[in-house]
Chain A
Amino acid sequence: MRIFKLMFKNALRHKLRTSLTILGIAIAVMAFGFLRTVVTAWYAGVEASAANRLVTRNAVSFIFPLPLAYRDKIARIPGVETVSYMNWFQGVYIDKNQFFARFAADVQTALEVYPEFIVPPDQLEAFTKERNACMVGADLAKQYNFKIGDVIPIEGDIYPGKWDFVVRAIYQPRDEKVDGTQMWFHWAYLDERMRQDMPGRAGEVGWYIIRISNPNDGARISEEVDQLFKNSRAETKTESERAFQEGFVQGTNLIIVLLNFMSFVIIGIIMLVLGNTMIMSARERTKEYAVLKTIGFSGSHLTKLIAGESMIISILGGALGLLLTYPIVGMFSLFVPKSWFPIFYIEPITIVLAGTSALVVGVIAALFPIQRAVRTSIVDGLRFVG
């Protein structure tokens, strides 16, 4: 590229304007990266789901329980490896704003089904032995400074009463896609309390998680499970973990639409800022471009020259923006409790998307000035006055 030097010198001709443009693009790219990260966080549950897990819940809706008796019937279906179950416990810790996921789980089987929750063996043993013990995620432990032996008092709502759980284990999420902000305790303890206080609600299971040996059997096994309980008082709906998680996200589709729309607008804004700069620069250089043409530069030379200048600015802006995305996402996770967005990290695809948009915008922003520079006749160009 022999005209690279001129490209570069042109880009730096108006230092203030170029810096402002680079800054504008950087901020927009950063906002884009941030928004995509929020979308990623939204889909975290979906992304973390495994192909070999099915979820069986009450067909009416997630809030209705299923009988414990279903466990053995499901376990007999060929292809089912492990059946585990959980209840959404909810309750209030300190006040209603301290939100984190609290589950009553059949711990032994649940850990078989969710190998991504890594628990030290000695802690697991202590947790298993004590009936009102609980396990918390490492991120949650950090947020509330929970230590082994601490008691977490919770006021029940779905399961009324006062509950005290002793922290006996702290699990490590296997990777950044795994939620490290959950709390698990023994389902048997919940059931024991219910048997005393509300005998009508004993033996209630929130939902079953089924581990299957071959992911390709998912559809067949789901069908068989639902068939088993057809026309009973508690009909089931079985689906892949992914579909189950998507069901949750789908409800808040509006937010996703909103976020996506905003990402779109951001790209539009980058385009306007850069386009504006390029149009102004090209306009001011109308005469110069005519001179270059007189010297013998052709339309394609000018195209390269202008597009190159635009790309230099957009690449610099995009790179700066990507660099800034990390601290801004970091800042956001500092201010927002970890348990609101348990999974909050910048996906590689976000970087790729942001970078690509900046490049594409670099090209598009140059189109209009290029068209103008190429179309303007030399005679008109030489006569042009700012």
Chain B
Amino acid sequence: MANSIIQVENVSKAYRRDTFDIPVLNNISLSVSEGDFLGLMGPSGSGKTTLLNLVAGIDRPSKGRVVVGGTDIGTLSETALAKWRATHVGFIFQFYNLIPVLTAYENVELPLLLTSLSKAERKKHVEFALQVVGLADRMYHYPKQLSGGQEQRVAIARAIATDPTLLVADEPTGDLDKQSAEEILTLLERLNKEFKKTIVMVTHDPRAAEKAHTVRHLDKGELK
């Protein structure tokens, strides 16, 4: 068995709403090995997005540890965590979340602005990433000039631009028609196989889950 890249140890998470806490995750442990393509499934409200957020380092557990690539991300400061995200994780959203005033090229370039790469090097990275997702010819289009599937592919290019080891996707096909969804899933599969990206994907689409190597089910904050 390959090295485990993600270790979630006894993690609980509760959100505070007004005066009472709403438990979302309940003492969860999970290990993802390097190169895996993990599908997290479960009904809405089951806590799958929360778990994904914890793994991606955009949220912090109430209890327990999340270790990614040997780093206990719970111990990092906000700034260090931001830096960590910039280099180690690529995040793919359901609604793409591209910056509307920036072109496809500029959107993909965003995470590279945080590195010390020169302009020419950044250009190479951006062009490569857009090529991988098959949008080299749409570089200077603005998000509103692209279709949903194309927008998601730009978003994926943005996620892989810094060459992170881990890709995290939250319902990446949730807002797409069947064919576009298929394309996105194929792309993710290729990234996993060809580029050795570890992928954690939240979905409730069984066809999406099929593409994953491992599928885990969450229900009411517990892993099945």
Contact = CB atoms under 8 A, between A and B. Distances in A.
Interface stretch (B2-10, B62-70, B96-104): B96-104
B102 A296 contact: no
B219 to A, nearest CB: 21
Contacts of B79: 298-300
Nearest to B113: A2
A294 interface: yes
A291 B82 contact: no
Nearest to A302: B82
B158 interface: yes
Interface stretch (B25-33, B51-59, B128-136): B51-59
Given A2-B113, A299-B82, A288 B99 contact: yes
B91 A295 contact: yes
A306 to B, nearest CB: 14
Contacts of B158: 295
A292 interface: yes
A296 B101 contact: no
Interface residues of B, number: 27
B91 A294 contact: yes
A291 B99 contact: yes
Interface residues of A, number: 25
Given A298-B82, A298-B83, A378-B53, A13 B101 contact: yes
Contact of A295 (B53, B106, B111): B111
B85 A294 contact: yes
A330 B195 CA distance: 69
A42 to B, nearest CB: 48
A10 interface: yes
Contacts of B86: 295-297
The B contact surface, by secondary structure, is helix
A382 to B, nearest CB: 7
B101 A294 contact: no
B155 to A, nearest CB: 10
Contact of B59 (A10, A287, A378): A378
B146 to A, nearest CB: 17
A298 B57 CA distance: 13
B78 interface: yes
A7 to B, nearest CB: 11
A293 B82 contact: yes
Interface string B89-125: 0010100010111100010001101100000000000
Nearest to B85: A296
Interface string A1-12: 011011001101
B190 to A, nearest CB: 22
Please indicate which of the listed interface residues A5, A9, A296, A298 has the most CB atoms of chain B within 10 Å of its own CB: A296
Contacts of A108: none
A213 interface: no
A371 to B, nearest CB: 14
B152 to A, nearest CB: 14
B87 interface: yes
B166 to A, nearest CB: 13
Interface string A265-300: 000000000000000000000011001111111111
Contacts of A10: 101
A89 B91 CA distance: 85
A293 B81 CA distance: 10
Contacts of A379: 50, 53, 58-59
20 contacts: A5-B102, A6-B110, A9-B101, A291-B97, A293-B82, A294-B56, A295-B86, A295-B111, A295-B114, A295-B158, A296-B82, A296-B85, A296-B87, A296-B162, A297-B114, A298-B83, A299-B82, A379-B58, A379-B59, A382-B93
Q: Which 7 A-B pairs have the closest CB atoms?
A: A296-B86, A298-B82, A9-B101, A378-B58, A2-B113, A296-B85, A291-B97
Given A294-B91, A297-B82, 12 more contacts: A6-B102, A13-B100, A291-B99, A294-B56, A295-B91, A295-B110, A295-B111, A297-B86, A298-B78, A300-B79, A378-B53, A379-B59
Interface of A: 2-3, 5-6, 9-10, 12-13, 287-288, 291-301, 377-379, 382
Interface of B: 50, 53, 56, 58-59, 78-79, 82-87, 91, 93, 97, 99-102, 106, 110-111, 113-114, 158, 162
